[in-house]
Amino acid sequence: MRPNGWSISALSAALLLSVVGCGSTPETSPPGTTRAAQAAAESFSVLVGPKGLAVLHGTTVEPVAGVPPTEVTAAGPVAALLPETSGAAAVSAERIVVLGPGQPPIVKPCNTCSGVAATADAIITTRSNFREGEGFDLVFFDHRLASSRIVPAQRLTERAKTTFPAENTDPPVTLAASASSVTVGYLSRNGGVRAGPSIVAQYSLAGKLLAQVSVDGIIGRSAVSPDGHYLALGVGGSGGACVTVSDLAVIDLEQLTLADLGPAIPDAYPIDPSALSEPWFLLTDLLWNADRVSATGEIYSPPPGESCDPKPQIWQRVYHPVADELSDRQVQARGIRWLGPGCDEVAELRGEWSERQLVKQPEGTELGRFTAVGLGAGPPARCQQSAATGTQTSTP
C-alpha cells in the first residue's frame, strides 16, 4: 500500500536515474591527488547544526563565531577541502566561511548562497540572481575570501511545462568543481519540492551549460571523492507525515552518468509482508574513504497497522564505483568519524533528529548538538567490525 497516497517506490527509484544529455568532460585530477587529498580530508571534520558551525580536530571542537546555528541541514556538501591547504570552505546560514583546525575562521555574508566546492585557486558557490531567463550566479572567491567575481548562468531549458510550482524558487546548489567546470543541482521546472525531479548540471567556468543528468527526486547531502571523479549524494523526497526518503546515488563526474545501485533497501533487511507500506531509506551521513563511499542512514518500516516507524534500524551502504561493488551492514551510529589511535576512539552521531548529539566514544561524552559531519576519517580497515549484526555483500 502507498502511504499517504504517495508511492514510496517512485522515490526509491531515485537510483534508477536517466541521462538526458551529455557534454564535454572536466579535467581529471593529476596523478597522486587521491592519496594527498584523502590525507588532508581525514585530518579534521566540519560540523553543522543547532550548535552552529565548528571544526572537530582530534577530540577538540572549535566553534566558528559569527555563523548562526541551523536546525535544517542544507543540501549539498557540509564542506569542501581547499587543495594543498589545511583548511576547508563551507556555506551555512547565509555565510561563506574558510575554516580549519587551529586557524582563525574567515566569515563573509553570502545571501542565498547554496553549496560549495573548491579548486586549486578558487572557492565556488551558487546564488540567486533574480534575472529573467532562469538565471543564477556562480560566485568565485579566492581562498581567503578577499576577492570575488560573479559569472551569470542559466538553468537548463526544459521541454514540457512553461510554468512551474510557486515553491520552486530555490537557487541551485553547488556540488563539485574541477579546473574546467562546476557541477550544480537544482529542482526541475517540472518538479515540486516534495518529490522532484531534479537536474544535476555541469557548467564551464564561463557559465556555459556543458552537460546534465536528471534524477528522480530532490537533492540532499553530497560529497565528492578525493580524486574529484565521483559525486555521492542523497536523492529522494517526502511522502507526508513520517515519510522522508533519501537514497544513495553516485555520479561519474567525468561522464556525468549514474551508477545503477539496484534496490535502495538491502537484501538482508527483514521486510514484514503485512506492513502497510514498503520500507524506505533516509541518508544521514556520507563519507569517502579513498575510492569507496560510505552512506549511513535509517531504514523505516512501520509495524503492521501503522504509518510511522518509531524505531528505525541504522544501516550503512559501502560502494566502490570502479569495481561496481556494493555491501550493506547494520550499524549503531547515524554517522561516525575515527579519532584514534584506538579502534573505539570515535565521534558518533547519536539520537533522533530532534535530539541528535555528537558523542565521543568510548566515554560517551557529548560534544554538542550537531546534525551533520563533513570530511574526516572513517575507522581504518583494521578496525572494521565483522558481520556481527548482519552483513550482506552484492555486486549490482
* Cβ atoms of 172 and 124 closer than 8 Å: no
Whether 40 maps to a domain, the answer reads yes
Query: DSSP class of residue 10?
Result: H
- Which run of H or of E encompasses 55? strand 52-57
Question: In this structure, what CATH number is given to the domain that contains residue 139?
Answer: 2.130.10
- The CA dihedral of 262, 233, 126, 254, to the nearest 10 degrees, is -60
- The CA dihedral of 125, 358, 282, 203, to the nearest 10 degrees, is 10
Whether 61 maps to a domain, the answer reads yes
What is the dihedral sign for C-alpha 273, 274, 276, 280?
negative
Geometric angle at alpha carbon 293, from 137 and 300, rounded to 5°? 95
Note the pLDDT tens digit of each residue in 217-249. Answer: 999 999 999 999 999 999 998 877 788 899 999
* Cβ atoms of 327 and 393 closer than 8 Å: yes
Whether 156 maps to a domain, the answer reads yes
DSSP letters of 49-74? ETTEEEEEETTEEEE-TT----SSPP
Residue 163: pLDDT band with limits 50, 70, 90? low
Residue 207: pLDDT band with limits 50, 70, 90? very high
For the residues 349-368, what does the mean pLDDT come to? 90
- pLDDT at residue 59 greater than cutoff 90: no
* Cβ atoms of 127 and 114 closer than 8 Å: yes
- Coil vs helix vs strand at 353: helix
Look at phi and psi of residue 341 and say left if phi exceeds 0, alpha if psi is from -120 to 50, else beta. alpha
pTM of the model: 0.86
**What is the total count of domains within the chain?**
1
What is the dihedral sign for C-alpha 206, 209, 211, 212?
positive
Q: How far apart are CA 71 and CA 77, in angstroms?
A: 16
Residue 310: pLDDT band with limits 50, 70, 90? confident
Cα–Cα distances (Å) from 73 to 159, 167, 353, 373, in that order, read 32, 19, 11, 10
Which structural domain range is residue 121 located in? 3-24+34-394
For the residues 368-384, what does the mean pLDDT come to? 90
Residue 20: pLDDT band with limits 50, 70, 90? very low
Q: List the beta bridge partners of residue 46.
A: 55, 374
* Cβ atoms of 367 and 356 closer than 8 Å: no
Residue 295: pLDDT band with limits 50, 70, 90? very high
Single out the residue of 179, 172, 138 nearest to residue 156, CA to CA: 172
Whether 29 maps to a domain, the answer reads no
Residue 5: pLDDT band with limits 50, 70, 90? very low
Whether 259 maps to a domain, the answer reads yes
Q: List the beta bridge partners of residue 173.
A: 185
What is the pLDDT at residue 144? Answer: 95
Least confidently predicted of 272-276, 354-358, 364-368: 272-276
Whether 94 maps to a domain, the answer reads yes
- Coil vs helix vs strand at 38: helix
Single out the residue of 57, 63, 60 nearest to residue 92, CA to CA: 63
Whether 140 maps to a domain, the answer reads yes
| More confident of the two residues 163 and 171 | 171
**In this structure, how many other beta carbons lie within 10 angstroms of the beta carbon of residue 59?**
12
Sequence-distant (6+) residues with CB within 8 A of 212 are 20, 21, 23, 156, 199, 200, 201, 202, 256
Single out the residue of 252, 258, 319, 287 nearest to residue 28, CA to CA: 252
- What residue ranges in 93-217 does DSSP mark as E strands? 95-99, 106-109, 114-118, 123-128, 135-141, 148-154, 173-177, 181-192, 196-204, 209-215
Residue 379: pLDDT band with limits 50, 70, 90? confident
